[in-house]
Structures are given as structure tokens and as C-alpha cells.
């Protein structure tokens, strides 16, 4: 992906170990910093997938401050789905027959002090460029709700059950030791759309608006203090008008 500049921000791949450490520091702040305290350690969210992924960094051009990041793992087809981070938490055997190229999007985060909607738009623009350059046919990953308490998320999960469950041919099965089977538990609940969308994570809202779908259960991830759902988006399902806007954002 060529460097991309829009307005106040620039986007590019990490090119050094220092760049990756910057991303790991921001990830720690976003995912772990709300309850972990500094004690002289270098505070990083890091795992063995970092060395296998491309890391996308969004910085404020004037200061160079890192304001958002995510990582991408590109697969040649569903036969490689077992190599993904998501496969540690979900049984993705139904996706092994997927024949197109895939990209797993992970650890997406925006600095908690930055609330400019252009950051998320630019991230999607960068993704659109990667999709076109690498001929990606499906995006997937884990979309996270903050915390492991389901209270307050009932309407969001009820809406996911009503409108956005994965097609049966791709539906992930349970693998993680602790899950919230919202499609079963909330089968009689009618979602309040306003409360549902207010509780929905911004990244997941974007996926759903483009035709994305989710697993029928959420994984309780106590290590990252999140509830997350497997999320898939087939590129061919993106409405043409929205796809055009994404490509414009990606230059």
C-alpha cells in the first residue's frame, strides 16, 4: 500500500520494529490501559501474530502522533483460515472451502483522546486500497465490545441476532471455553434500534452497514477484557455507492 495522506492524517505500513512497538503501545492503552498500571515495564499489547502481519498506522501529519492502528493478515483462500488469529477463538471449519483471497483485520484501535470521524473513514479508505491491490474477496476479524459484562448490550446483541447472523454456510461454531450464546439466549427479545446502535462498536457498525455478518455467539475474552463476535464481510456484498466512497477515501 502506497502512503496515503488525507487532511490532517497520513496512513502507511509499519516499516521498523520501532513502528510496531508504537502500535503495540497504542493497543495496550486502548485494550489494557483501563485497568493495568505502569510499574516500570514497557507497556505493550503484543503476541506471536505481530511478526506475521502487516501493521497499518494512522498518524497526525503535523505532529507524527499515532492516532490509530490495525494489523492485516492476508490469506490466499479459506484453506488457510486455521492460520488466523480468529481461529484461536472460533471453529471456522465452514470457511475452509472459501476460494477467494481473504484478509483478517485485527487489533483495530483509535487513541481514546481522539474522536475525529475522519480517522475511521481514512482507515476504511486504506482498507479499500488494500482490497483492490491484493484482490481480496472477504474481510474478517473479531469485533469487540468493551468489558465482559453483557449488561447494557442486550439490544445490540438482539439486533445482531435479528438482522446480521452469518449465512449458515459460513457460520462459525463454538470453540472458546466461555461464550455468550446471544442468538439462543435472546431469541425472544425484540431489539430497540436506538439503544442497539448506541451500544454497537463503531467498527462493527461500519461492517454491518456494508453488508457484514457475525457469529451467533460472542467470545468472553478476559485477557483483553472484551466480548467479541466473529465478523465477516464479502467484498461483493458492499453496496456500489458505499464502495465508491471508500475508494475515494483511499485515493
> At 27, is the secondary structure helix, strand, or coil?
helix
Q: What is the pLDDT of residues 85-103, one digit of tens each?
A: 999 999 999 999 999 999 9
Range 131-153 average pLDDT: 95
Please enumerate in sequence order all residues whose Cβ is within 8 A of that of 39, keeping only pairs 6 or more positions apart, or say none. Answer: none
Report the pLDDT averaged over residues 47-58: 96
Task: Say if residue 39's pLDDT is above 60.
Answer: no
Residue 6: pLDDT band (50, 70, 90) is: confident
The whole model's pTM is what? 0.92
pLDDT band, residue 241 (cuts 50/70/90): confident
pLDDT at 251: 65
Residue 224 has pLDDT above 60, yes or no: yes
Strand partners, 104: 73, 140
* pLDDT of 40 strictly over 70: no
What is the model's pLDDT at position 4? 77
Q: Which CATH architecture has domain 4-249?
A: 3-Layer(aba) Sandwich (3.40)
Tell me: the pLDDT tens digits for 94-138? Answer: 999 999 999 999 999 999 999 998 899 899 989 999 999 999 999
What pLDDT is stored for residue 34 in this prediction? 57
- pLDDT in the model for residue 41: 63
Amino acid at each position: 500500500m502506497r502512503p496515503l495522506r488525507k487532511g490532517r492524517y497520513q496512513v502507511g505500513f509499519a516499516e521498523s520494529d520501532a513502528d510496531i512497538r508504537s502500535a503495540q503501545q497504542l493497543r495496550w492503552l486502548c485494550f489494557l490501559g483501563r485497568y493495568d498500571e505502569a510499574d516500570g515495564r514497557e507497556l505493550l499489547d503484543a503476541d506471536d501474530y505481530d511478526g506475521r502481519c502487516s501493521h497499518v498506522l494512522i498518524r497526525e501529519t503535523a505532529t507524527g502522533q499515532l492516532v490509530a492502528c490495525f494489523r492485516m493478515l492476508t490469506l490466499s483462500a479459506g484453506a488457510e483460515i486455521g492460520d488466523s488469529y480468529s481461529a484461536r477463538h472460533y471453529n471456522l471449519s465452514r470457511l475452509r472451502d472459501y476460494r477467494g483471497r481473504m484478509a483478517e483485520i485485527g487489533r483495530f484501535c483509535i487513541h481514546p483522546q481522539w474522536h475525529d470521524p475522519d480517522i475511521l473513514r481514512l482507515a476504511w479508505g486504506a482498507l479499500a486500497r488494500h482490497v483492490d491491490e491484493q484482490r481480496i474477496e472477504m474481510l474478517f476479524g473479531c469485533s469487540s465490545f468493551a468489558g465482559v459484562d453483557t449488561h447494557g448490550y442486550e439490544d445490540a446483541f438482539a439486533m445482531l441476532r435479528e438482522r446480521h447472523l452469518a449465512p449458515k454456510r459460513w457460520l462459525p461454531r463454538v470453540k472458546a471455553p466461555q461464550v455468550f450464546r446471544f442468538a439462543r439466549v435472546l431469541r425472544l427479545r425484540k431489539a430497540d434500534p436506538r439503544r442497539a446502535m448506541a451500544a454497537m462498536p463503531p467498527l462493527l457498525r461500519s461492517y454491518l452497514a456494508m453488508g457484514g455478518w457475525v457469529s451467533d455467539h460472542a467470545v468472553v475474552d478476559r485477557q483483553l477484557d472484551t466480548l467479541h463476535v466473529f465478523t465477516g464481510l464479502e467484498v461483493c456484498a458492499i453496496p456500489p455507492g458505499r464502495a465508491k466512497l471508500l475508494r475515494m477515501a483511499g485515493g
